[in-house]
Amino acid sequence: MTSIATPRERLLRTAAELFYAEGAAAVGVERLCKAAGVSKRSMYQLFTTKDEVIAESLRAFGPSTVAAYFPGPAADMPPRERILHVFARLEEQAGTPSFHGCPFVNTAVELHDPAHEAAGVALTFKKRLESYFHEHATALGATDPDLVAAQLTMLFDGAAVRAVMRAEPLGGLALRTAAGILDHAVP
């Protein structure tokens, strides 16, 4: 049996899709509500402001965004391959027309306010990615897993920006660079 999405769920899904594709500032409340099939009145009964919708849409869809880059928990992969899997997925995603970069970086950059609730949500998800890299760099035996995790996170973000700005696939650059970082991280 298929459940019917509530107005809140429709708003959050539509917001996540539109904000990712076009930017939160470019999508007005009227357009968001129309696309979600929800009245403005209903939206404001559910959320105080559009800013709250931005933050909640990241909270709601951030976990699936992050999980799409990680191998499944049952995947039998050594730590190095778990890290490289993230970059292989980034390479795949960056080569598609629907790729618009990292939704967390996009949101934080667009808002220009690190104190904004949505910027805080975005940072939480970026920290999850860095923690993932740290966990596997530690398991790999990296001499400085903090540095490796920071380098890999910066590489991920920079590679996503490069793919968007050049409107072209990464061509293996992110994956080769991540491998190079790992080659130098383990004695």
Task: For residue range 144-179, list pLDDT tens digits in order.
Answer: 999 999 999 999 999 999 999 999 999 999 999 999
Task: State pLDDT tens for residues 72-106.
Answer: 888 899 999 999 999 999 999 999 999 999 999 99
The CA distance from 50 to 41, in Å, is: 12
Q: Copy the structure tokens of residue 153.
A: 């996170």
User: If DSSP codes are grouped into helix, strand and coil, which group holds residue 6?
Assistant: coil
Report the phi/psi class of residue 102: left, alpha or beta, with left for phi > 0 and alpha for psi in -120 to 50: beta
Task: Encode burial over 78-98: b for 16+ CB neighbours within 10 A, e otherwise.
Answer: ebbebbbbbbbbbbebbeeee
Residue 74 confidence (pLDDT): 86
pTM: 0.92
Domain with CATH 1.10.357.10 in the chain: 68-185
Domain 7-56 grouped into CATH 2.50.20.10: no
What pLDDT shows up at residue 4?
80
Separation in Å, CA 118 to CA 45, 47, 183: 19, 14, 36
Domain 68-185 annotated CATH 2.130.10.10 = no
Q: Where in the chain is the domain with CATH 1.10.10.60?
A: 7-56
Residue carrying structure tokens 């409340």: 29
In the chain, DSSP finds a helix count (H) and a strand count (E) of 9, 0
Asked whether residue 22 carries a pLDDT value surpassing 90, the answer given is yes
Fill in the amino acid letter for 128: R
* Angstrom distances, CA of residue 64 to CA of 72, 101, 123: 12, 15, 16
Q: Say which amino acid occupies 92.
A: E
Q: Are 99 and 165 in contact (CB under 8 A)?
A: no
Question: How far is residue 55's CA from residue 67's CA, in Å, rounded to a whole number?
Answer: 19
